[in-house]
Amino acid sequence: MHARTRIAVGAAGALAAASFLAGCGGAGSSGTEAPRGGTAAGAGCAPVAGSKLVVLDDDKKLQNTDNVIAAVNAKAANPALLAAVDKVAATLDTSKLIELNKAVDVDRKTPKVAAEQFASANNLTAGLAQGPGGKLTVGAANFSENQILGELYRIALTAAGYQVTVQQIGNRELYEPALEKGEIQVVPEYAATMAEFLNKKVNPGTTTEISSPDLDKTVSGLRTVGEKVGLTFGQPSPAQDQNAFAVTQAFADKYGVKTISELAAKCSGSATVLAGPPECPQRPKCQAGLVQVYNFKAGKFSSLDAGGPQTKSALTTGAASVGLVFSSDGALAAG
């Protein structure tokens, strides 16, 4: 589903985090007792199968702020265009984005149909001012969520008087240069990931991150580097699509965990299985970060995929205790 590798964000800290892991006896070492609600002290929390997945609250802000935000070619930007994409941003939140993803990835609607139904139900086009008109091309990355967002931009921009085409243009390495050149004018983006992509482009060789868990700081850094390559940005949406750690509802109920801090306190130990992509143990937004920020030490790491069907299946079938997912995944829908 996803073309983004958010676990790579913050790679500058990976070496330090890996050293921290080694100092703690490795990613699978134990050493914290499990208070009431977990298993025996230091034994961890064995997986619990269940059909419903829930995201644990990232209460110490391990992840950076990957809020949905419109990237716009600066020469094409005008108040009416920005107002239209900002209306999309304001209408969404993470729960609504989850439901949109469910509509496409689970219920098998097309991105166009899902977007049109959402726009109608949420009065997306109400009150939009007319712009100067003309043709606009909205680019979309090659995964369903971004295509849904592209269709929402199309609907809002059409209501603002533009003739809009949505064009799927693959990954960021392909569509970002096209956006700079004005071959496309608007792309749905993610604040922290885009900030670091442009940061490395504008400041080659830098090891200093400009994204952070603080949304205002992330967007400020994003606007600064964007200006240097001829891009501007709309307002960030409350909707986020970023790394998250999920358990089954049955696991959360059995062990009494709602936050990653509670998971670390109750479930560090040998029985706990963490699932994620092969690079997760070394990445500061994955297992290395869980150790460094939360002192969470899983007993075993299961190398699967990045928030994909393998990890989600491992959770629901009881093969993994906790797994890396994306926070807007349709599998997280209520019900």
- pLDDT, tens only, 149-184: 999 999 999 999 999 999 999 889 999 999 999 999
One CATH from 3.40.50, 1.10.3470, 2.20.25, 3.10.105 for 68-233: 3.10.105
From the list 331, 330, 334, the residue with the least C-alpha distance to 313 is 331
Q: Which fold has domain 11-63+242-332?
A: D-Maltodextrin-Binding Protein; domain 2 (3.40.190)
How distant, in Å, are the alpha carbons of 34, 251, 262, 263, 282 from that of 268? Answer: 7, 14, 10, 7, 18
pLDDT reported for residue 334: 78
Arithmetic mean of pLDDT, 277-300: 96
Q: How far apart are CA 279 and CA 209, in angstroms?
A: 20
Q: How far apart are CA 102 and CA 157, in angstroms?
A: 24
Q: How far apart are CA 52 and CA 62, in angstroms?
A: 24
Q: How far apart are CA 194 and CA 211, in angstroms?
A: 9
Residue 146 scores a pLDDT above 50: yes
To the nearest whole number, what is the mean pLDDT of the chain? 90
Query: What's the predicted TM-score (pTM) here?
Result: 0.87
Q: How far apart are CA 266 and CA 86, in angstroms?
A: 42
Kindly report, as residue ranges, where domains of CATH 3.10.105 are found in the chain.
68-233
pLDDT digits (tens, 9 = 90+) for 18-52: 433 333 333 333 333 333 344 445 799 999 999 99
Q: How far apart are CA 78 and CA 215, in angstroms?
A: 24
Kindly report, as residue ranges, where domains of CATH 3.40.190.120 are found in the chain.
11-63+242-332
Beta bridge partners of 298: 269
